[in-house]
A and B are shown apart, each in its own frame.
Chain A
Amino acid sequence: MEASKVIHAIYTDDDVLMSAVKKVKAEKHHIEEIYTPFPVHGLDKAMGLAPTRIAITSFMYGCVGLTVAIVMMNFIMIEDWPQDIGGKPSFSYLENMPAFVPIMFELTVFFAAHLMVITFYLRSRMWPFKKAENPDPRTTDDHFLMEIPVHDNEESLAALLKDTGAVEIKIVDKDEDAH
């Protein structure tokens, strides 16, 4: 159920924010989003976010890179034109493998790193002309903002948030075009 109204609670301290998150979670309210100027250690755990799987994708990309390197060099150096270059044994891939290892290594790292970064951009929807999704510019400097959807419980929610140490509480209509 999409709420049309959200409540924005603003904090000025990450410790206060952390305890607020725990309190709000304990009251079984759903936290839509939290905006912070810097990574707050343990925030994802407190919010109950699922762990990232980006390391797993990276491992798989690395395997792809290794395969690309092996297939490429096996074809070029061994199958297509097995020349004698300085007496290196180009009879089979294995015999000449030490010479290929630097490239195998670099391509593994290259694929693992770059594809993982691109995956990160795609999954977190970041690209050069992307419109910034920032409800309050102060959250990029020294304020923390917690966004909670409202379901006809404005007063109690606002009271709860005030209780957790929020310095500012705003109820805003959610702009459907923002995302």
Chain B
Amino acid sequence: MEYKISNRLKIGAIICVVLGLLGVAYGFYESHQYKTVEDVKVLLANEDGHGGEHAGEAHGTAGHSEEASHDTMTHANAGQAEEAHAEGHEMSHEEHVLHQIHNRPYAALYVAAFFFFMIALGVLAFYAIQYAAQAGWSPVLFRVMEAITAYVLPGALIVLAIALFADKHLFVWMDPEVVAHDKLIQGKSGFLNKGVFIGLSLFFIFGWSAYRYLVRKFSLAQDSSDNNSYFKKAFRWSAGFLVFYIVTESIVSWLWVMSVDPHWFSTLFGWYVFASMFVSGITVIAMITIYLKSKGLLEFVNDSHIHDLAKFMFGISIFWTYLWFSQFMLIWYSNIPEEVTYYITRIEYYKLPFFGMVVMNFVFPLLLLMNSDYKRIPWFVVMAGIVILCGHYLDVFNMIMPATVVDRWYIGIPEIGSILLFGGLFLLIVFTALGKAPLLAKGNPLMKESKYFHY
């Protein structure tokens, strides 16, 4: 039951990181080929040439409406400088495009970093819930969960570092130039300023990792303890952490995700991000469990455990869809301009990723994981898991990209490079952490029940 990260996995992960770094570097290099507005003019002229008559047609027939929609659009997505419109200080179309091109590698990096961080944080929340609920089925999976949460601290610090490194490339409110011309952001500057951003983020990161550190310590100490005092401690800390978590998760989703669109707000956004991280986290637990089981390392995990995890994947996928749809439908229905621009940008420029993720995160798991027998078949769960993870990557993509690169998006080398970079890092950290403790938390008082868990 001891696990040691295999050399093959280690080398694979390192190759991912290296390839990812190359991809990210290429992304920055490529985007900075366009240095001035003149370069963009050349690019746009070329694109027009490629588009040929299509472009001409669009300009001819829909010139007027396009201009109108462009105006609302830029206003909505808080791209780089639409705030300037308000003050009548115009920025040329080319300059917008130049900013968008420059934002892309930052945004690609940020999306991937946040995606992997959110998996770890989702698992931490799931873990705390298992403790607080004194779930009898899950203790056999605790070491897997603990290993995944090892990524919370590095992952969160990386996200924060990228946010600060990208600065105004991601968060327009970090640009004093923009804020000076934007009354709306000025009104929010009590919350949206760097001091609050860094202070709160660090405080939250401290809270999450402190809980993770303590509960891991208790879990290991329980293994060699002759009473349940560590279990009780872990129970109390988990219950407390869940209160802390739900508040901080909500605020961090405003700070780290929603504030890329500082003109837009939504009240259930925190829940929405939570659902996304929760389902991705559970999916990763299931996939790593199935992987380890296939290596013969988790013989105490039976197909009822897999069944339960798949049930969670199924249920939380639907919960995510419920929140996605509630947010979308309420805004679509009332159609208030200051809110609806968020979705106009997405539907206009991100039709495929925006609706594609609903298919991947809802329709696919709904049909695949509804059958009780399928939930016991590892390759079915893995297949559903891959689609769910891709879907939730797209979800984060859809949250960040429209605000930063607007219509200049593409899932190309910078994006895939970033996924490889953080995916490799994630695997490296998680599987190294897996090797640090026996795979069975044998001191847990619910362990026997969990071993014989049968559904």
Contacts and interface: CB of A to CB of B under 8 A. Distances in A.
A101 interface: yes
B333 A99 contact: yes
B296 to A, nearest CB: 28
Contacts of B325: 98, 101
B44 interface: no
B329 A59 contact: no
A52 B370 CA distance: 16
Interface in B317-369: 325, 328-329, 332-333, 335
Interface in A50-92: 55, 59, 87
- Of the listed residues A55, A87, A98, the one surrounded by the most CB atoms of chain B closer than 10 A to its CB is A98
Contact of B328 (A55, A59, A87, A98): A98
Identify whether the interface residues of A are mostly helix, strand, loop, or mixed.
helix
Contacts of B335: 87
Interface string B4-33: 000000000000000000000000000000
B370 A98 contact: no
Interface string A125-167: 0000000000000000000000000000000000000000000
A87 B340 CA distance: 15
Nearest to B367: A59
Contacts of B328: 98
Interface string A12-46: 00000000000000000000000000000000000
Contacts of B333: 98-99
A130 to B, nearest CB: 31
Given A87-B335, A99-B329, A99-B333, 9 more contacts: A55-B372, A59-B370, A98-B325, A98-B328, A98-B329, A98-B332, A98-B333, A101-B325, A101-B329
Q: Nearest 10 CB-CB pairs, A to B?
A: A98-B329, A98-B332, A99-B333, A101-B325, A101-B329, A98-B333, A98-B328, A59-B370, A87-B335, A55-B372
Interface of B: 325, 328-329, 332-333, 335, 370, 372
Interface of A: 55, 59, 87, 98-99, 101
